[in-house]
Chains A and B, each alone.
Chain A
Amino acid sequence: MGHLTLDVRTKLLLILYSSIVVFAFYSFWLETILIILLGTIQFLSKKSLVSLRLITLYVIFVLLQIFLLPKLTGTLLMMTSFFVVSFRRLFPCFLSGILLINTTTVSELTSGLSKLKIPRQIIIPLTVTLRYIPTVKEEFGYIKDAMKIRKFKIRKDKFFSDILQHIECYYVPLLVSASQISDELSTSAVTRGIENPCKKTFLHPCSFGKFDVIIVSMLVIVLICIINGTF
């Protein structure tokens, strides 16, 4: 059996769904169900390793919340609980976002969005963003190397100014390369006729498969449970 592949529209639905659930109807059981669902999808998709690491991280955060937080007091509690709790609560959104970024090709996204009748003026910037994320990752690696060579360090006595310097050092070269790369990307898109007003063809048009049906129906069941007040 091959890897699990989902329609891009299902993935977008998952993002929307988890954001709404996390921000509007939060409950512990709901969170657990979402994480198990998203985790299983990732595990069955080809980027299984990444999600395994992430799940471990999640477990660590849950353990931290159960065992460490009750023992802390004052400002320390405020700072740690902010990181731990907000990271944990946003976790379903991370998972669904990672799923979209790691398993979707630019042309799938274009085809999915145009099937949803989203205007081209919105599709093009969105696809460029998706295209740009892995590039940022690559650029980030280079800058990290360069900073190591120049011995940028975070010292205890100058903690905050060093952190600020660090952020700036990532930010400036990234900004420069972003403006350059976006120029070059748009040049390449334009010289290959992206603006052609005719109806585009898609070699691999997105289509709903049985997995999409299964997942969407599971989401509907959960939604019904929420409305009934089960969670």
Chain B
Amino acid sequence: MIELDNVSYQYKGSDTTNLNNFSLTIQKGECVLLCGKSGCGKTTVTKLVNGIIPYLSNGEKQGLVKLNNQNIENIPMYKLSQIVGSVFQNPKSQFFNLDTDSELTFALENQGLPVDKIKERLEEVTNKLAIHHLRKRNIFELSGGEKQLIAIASVYMANPEIFVLDEPTANLDLLAIDTLKEILLYMKQEGKTILIAEHRLSYLKEIVDKVVFMENGFLKEIYTNKEFYNLSDSKRKSLGLRRLHDEIEEVSGNRYTKKEISVCLNNISISYGKKSILTNISLKAHKGDIIGITGSNGIGKSSLCRTICGLHSLTKGNITYSENLARIPIRLQMSYLIMQDVNHQLFGESVEDECMMNNDTATVKQIEDILKIMDLFSYRKKHPMALSGGQKQRLAIAISLLLKKDIYIFDEPTSGLDYVSMCSVREQIISLTKKGATVFLVTHDMELLDTLCNRCLFLCSDKIVEIFRDKNNYSVHVKRMLLENRE
């Protein structure tokens, strides 16, 4: 069905070839997983199959990509789009429409199908994928998981033979991943061919037939499902891969830190306009704590974070820092939020300039030292936007260190990161707490939660529940609670 024959590709402006002599054949009805570190060439392969390369990307391509024995370059894009359906990583920007119904029917409207045919298919897909609750909604009101579900459903509407998915779970919570898994299984039963590039591997165990491991643009190894999911834990770590199974991670016990209280929420309530988000939430955090905050999508995790760091006001209750009442200016002074999209918080013209901005106390020496610790010193003259994702994140942390903050809030710091990058984020956070900082971590990344946090809180709209590890790790409890709290 899909045949890649000795394909190499180099993006415009790239110093090295991004894909080297890559050959792979995918049979009809097969599900193939592409894995490897960030930048290993997974996404490039998906783009070659759905035609984005060479159609929207003008780099240098060698070799042939064939679809049903036809050179893909000879198929017009709109025809190819009827055979290959694509789902992308970022649920925010893969919608062309602003309401779900138009999005679902978009591909079929483009094909010029009669109205009653489209309506019929719309009802069919709504029933098959059980998305009644998502019909006729505004895209901006949906949670990340719901958006991704609509993205998949709208691709499924056109009934393509091949599905290409590029890191579809990067922004999803556990339950949304479960839903995605069910849909993929269902598509496989229907005989669809699936090509999926992914960092999170455990949920695909029952779906994939073949696993392609890539490194630096080379195909390194092709595993069968059995071979791959039986790899030892040390082997998969040496390959730089995320965990293969959810359950077997060492439980390291509930580590408690020094008993010096840093942040206290006393019966706080939060609302946006007239809409109440959270009521009567109380919480005590100690210096050195790394507190994971989870909960259903859209429950108010980010509102809570924005409130803790002084970006949002309280309607009831109060917040204390080190047992002193902390109103908004103090909270803004003491705490720091590392946003999910770090691009929003870098403003400078160079890395150095970024560090000096709005900071009158930091000396040149201090800046140099911190840039060295963060492994950014050799990039100090570069523009922040020219850095890689991980470097941008480290720069944001470097700035906060220079501003001498005590309380850190990380919003999804590892979404879409590979194992090695996740470990480096983990190291950064641990080193912050060693300096006495308190860290709050909002995340759907259960691997990070299990291996980093010493406390885990599950947020509901009217209470906050502390989860303790027993023989099971946090993720097991979180999953149970998510299911219990599903409306």
- Residue numbers of A with Cβ under 8 A of B are 105-107, 127, 131, 134-135, 138-139, 142-143, 145-152, 168-169, 172-173, 176-177, 180-181, 183-204
Q: Is the CB of A192 within 8 A of B357?
A: no
Name the distance in Å between A199's Cβ and chain B's nearest Cβ.
Answer: 5
Name the distance in Å between B400's Cβ and chain A's nearest Cβ.
Answer: 9
Q: Is the CB of A168 within 8 A of B96?
A: no
- Residue numbers of B with Cβ under 8 A of A are 50-52, 55-56, 76-78, 81-82, 84-86, 88, 90, 92-99, 101-102, 105-115, 118-119, 140, 154-155, 158, 306, 309-311, 332-333, 336-337, 339, 341, 343-347, 357-358, 385, 399, 403
Which listed residue (B88, B96, B310, B347) contacts A169, Cβ 8 A?
B347
**Which residues from chain A contact B76 at a C-beta distance below 8 Å?**
195
Name the distance in Å between A102's Cβ and chain B's nearest Cβ.
Answer: 10
Which listed residue (B110, B332, B341) contacts A149, Cβ 8 A?
B332
Q: Is the CB of A201 within 8 A of B112?
A: yes
- In whole angstroms, what is the CA distance A177 to B175 when docked? 29
Q: Is the CB of A168 within 8 A of B94?
A: no
- In whole angstroms, what is the CA distance A56 to B82 when docked? 51
- In whole angstroms, what is the CA distance A139 to B333 when docked? 23
- In whole angstroms, what is the CA distance A203 to B155 when docked? 17
Q: Is the CB of A201 within 8 A of B109?
A: yes
**Which residues from chain B contact A151 at a C-beta distance below 8 Å?**
332-333, 358
**Which residues from chain B contact A191 at a C-beta distance below 8 Å?**
50-52, 77, 81, 84-86
Name the distance in Å between A97's Cβ and chain B's nearest Cβ.
Answer: 16
- In whole angstroms, what is the CA distance A181 to B90 when docked? 10
Asked, given contacts A150-B347, A152-B358, A190-B81, whether A198 binds B111 with beta carbons under 8 Å apart, the answer is: yes
Q: Is the CB of B341 within 8 A of A192?
A: no
Asked, given contacts A168-B347, A201-B118, whether A195 binds B97 with beta carbons under 8 Å apart, the answer is: no
Q: Is the CB of A106 within 8 A of B78?
A: no
Q: Is the CB of A105 within 8 A of B102?
A: yes
Q: Is the CB of A188 within 8 A of B98?
A: no
Q: Is the CB of B55 within 8 A of A190?
A: yes
- In whole angstroms, what is the CA distance A134 to B154 when docked? 21
- In whole angstroms, what is the CA distance A52 to B181 when docked? 46
- In whole angstroms, what is the CA distance A191 to B50 when docked? 7
Asked, given contacts A181-B93, A193-B107, whether A203 binds B119 with beta carbons under 8 Å apart, the answer is: yes
Q: Helix, strand, loop or mixed for chain A's interface?
A: helix
Please give me the residue from chain B that is nearest to A183 by CB atom: B56
- Minimum-distance CB pairs A-B, first 3: A146-B345, A184-B93, A196-B78
Name the distance in Å between A10's Cβ and chain B's nearest Cβ.
Answer: 20
- In whole angstroms, what is the CA distance A158 to B168 when docked? 47
**Which residues from chain B contact A180 at a C-beta distance below 8 Å?**
93
- In whole angstroms, what is the CA distance A226 to B313 when docked? 51
**Which residues from chain B contact A192 at a C-beta distance below 8 Å?**
81, 96, 106-107, 110, 154-155, 158
Interface CB pairs A-B, < 8 A, 7: A139-B344, A147-B347, A148-B332, A150-B399, A177-B344, A193-B77, A198-B111
Name the distance in Å between B455's Cβ and chain A's nearest Cβ.
Answer: 24
Q: Is the CB of B118 within 8 A of A203?
A: yes
**Which residues from chain A contact B84 at a C-beta distance below 8 Å?**
191
Asked, given contacts A142-B341, A168-B347, whether A186 binds B56 with beta carbons under 8 Å apart, the answer is: yes
- In whole angstroms, what is the CA distance A168 to B345 when docked? 13
Name the distance in Å between A9's Cβ and chain B's nearest Cβ.
Answer: 18
Instruction: Kindly name the residue among B97, B109, B158, B337 whose own CB sees the greatest number of chain A CB atoms within 10 A.
Output: B109
Q: Is the CB of B96 within 8 A of A199?
A: no
Please give me the residue from chain B that is nearest to A175 by CB atom: B385
Q: Is the CB of A131 within 8 A of B344?
A: no
Please give me the residue from chain B that is nearest to A191 by CB atom: B86
Which listed residue (A172, A176, A195, A204) contacts B78, Cβ 8 A?
A195
Please give me the residue from chain B that is nearest to A150 by CB atom: B358
**Which residues from chain A contact B106 at a C-beta distance below 8 Å?**
107, 192
Q: Is the CB of B78 within 8 A of A193?
A: yes
7 additional A-B pairs beyond A134-B140, A148-B310, A192-B96, beta carbons within 8 Å, are: A185-B96, A187-B86, A188-B96, A193-B158, A196-B110, A198-B112, A201-B113
Please give me the residue from chain B that is nearest to A104 by CB atom: B98
Which listed residue (A131, A150, A152, A195) contacts B77, Cβ 8 A?
A195
Name the distance in Å between A8's Cβ and chain B's nearest Cβ.
Answer: 13
Q: Is the CB of B77 within 8 A of A190?
A: yes
- In whole angstroms, what is the CA distance A203 to B99 when docked? 13
- In whole angstroms, what is the CA distance A194 to B337 when docked? 39
Name the distance in Å between A204's Cβ and chain B's nearest Cβ.
Answer: 8
Q: Is the CB of A149 within 8 A of B96?
A: no
- In whole angstroms, what is the CA distance A168 to B348 when docked? 9
**Which residues from chain B contact A200 at a C-beta distance below 8 Å?**
109-110, 112
Please give me the residue from chain B that is nearest to A198 by CB atom: B112
Asked, given contacts A131-B96, A149-B309, whether A138 binds B347 with beta carbons under 8 Å apart, the answer is: no
- In whole angstroms, what is the CA distance A23 to B221 when docked? 68
Please give me the residue from chain B that is nearest to A184 by CB atom: B93
- In whole angstroms, what is the CA distance A185 to B410 when docked? 28
**Which residues from chain B contact A152 at a C-beta distance below 8 Å?**
358
Which listed residue (B55, B96, B344, B403) contacts A189, Cβ 8 A?
B96
Name the distance in Å between B124's Cβ and chain A's nearest Cβ.
Answer: 15
- In whole angstroms, what is the CA distance A147 to B346 when docked? 9
Q: Is the CB of B109 within 8 A of A145?
A: no
- In whole angstroms, what is the CA distance A216 to B116 when docked? 32
Which listed residue (B78, B140, B311) contacts A197, Cβ 8 A?
B78
- In whole angstroms, what is the CA distance A194 to B77 when docked? 9
**Which residues from chain B contact A149 at a C-beta distance below 8 Å?**
309, 311, 332, 336-337, 345
- In whole angstroms, what is the CA distance A192 to B111 when docked? 9
Q: Is the CB of A187 within 8 A of B56?
A: yes
Q: Is the CB of A196 within 8 A of B111?
A: yes
Asked, given contacts A173-B346, A191-B81, A193-B81, whether A146 binds B339 with beta carbons under 8 Å apart, the answer is: yes
Q: Is the CB of B98 within 8 A of A106?
A: yes
Q: Is the CB of B339 within 8 A of A142?
A: yes
- In whole angstroms, what is the CA distance A25 to B112 when docked? 44
